[in-house]
Amino acid sequence: MTSQSNNQTVRAHHQFDAAGRVPGRFAAEIAILLMGKHKVSYRPNADEGDYVEVINAGQLEFSGKKLEQKVYQSFSGFPGGLKTLGLKKLFKDNPDEVLRRAVYRMLPKNKLRSEMIKRLTFKSDHE
């Protein structure tokens, strides 16, 4: 059995068009590529995923009433420390962040997650 060191990892580049895609299912597809689960050489303790570039993130489509009802919350732990942000406002201000948050939460919760999410990039709609 041969082992593969980090400097031999071959990373492919993938580009996706987000126009008309549903964020959850699209994020799951991206998370698999960032983790490297599509490769034969996948190891959960190694970061061997690929690079992913997304274009047209502002053209994602939401089903139902998610735009009006979904809320992102964070709590600092202090009294009055609950911060809420609606999906509609976040999507209007920064559509890339909606998809980034969905992908980030689908990645494994370990030390490799911060390195994996760095390989997700967005190309602006108006360039």
Give 40-75 pLDDT, tens digit per residue.
Answer: 999 999 999 999 999 999 999 999 999 999 999 999
Q: Does 29 fall in a domain?
A: yes
Give 86-100 pLDDT, tens digit per residue.
Answer: 999 999 999 999 999
Which of the four pLDDT bands, split at 50, 70 and 90, describes residue 3? low
Q: For residue 107, what is the DSSP state?
A: S
Q: Does 70 fall in a domain?
A: no
Give 102-113 pLDDT, tens digit per residue.
Answer: 999 999 999 999
Please give the pLDDT value at position 4: 54
Q: Does 37 fall in a domain?
A: yes
Q: Does 23 fall in a domain?
A: yes
Q: 84 pLDDT exceeds 80?
A: yes
Give the mean model confidence (pLDDT) for residues 19-25: 94
Domain of 54, CATH number, reads: 3.90.1180.10
**pTM (two decimals):** 0.87
Q: How far apart are CA 38 and CA 21, in angstroms?
A: 21
Burial of 56 (C-beta count, 10 Å sphere; 0-12/13-18/19+):
middle
Given a contact cutoff of 8 angstroms between Cβ atoms, the answer to whether 103 and 57 are in contact is: no
Q: How far apart are CA 10 and CA 116, in angstroms?
A: 14
Q: Does 8 fall in a domain?
A: no
Q: Does 25 fall in a domain?
A: yes
Q: In the beta sheet, which residues pair with residue 52?
A: 14, 120
Q: Does 40 fall in a domain?
A: yes
Please give the pLDDT value at position 1: 47
Q: Rounded to 5 degrees, what angle do the CA atoms 43, 44, 50 make?
A: 70
Q: Does 48 fall in a domain?
A: yes
Which of the four pLDDT bands, split at 50, 70 and 90, describes residue 124? confident
**Residues of the domain holding 41:** 13-63+96-123
Q: How many structural domains is the chain composed of? A: 1
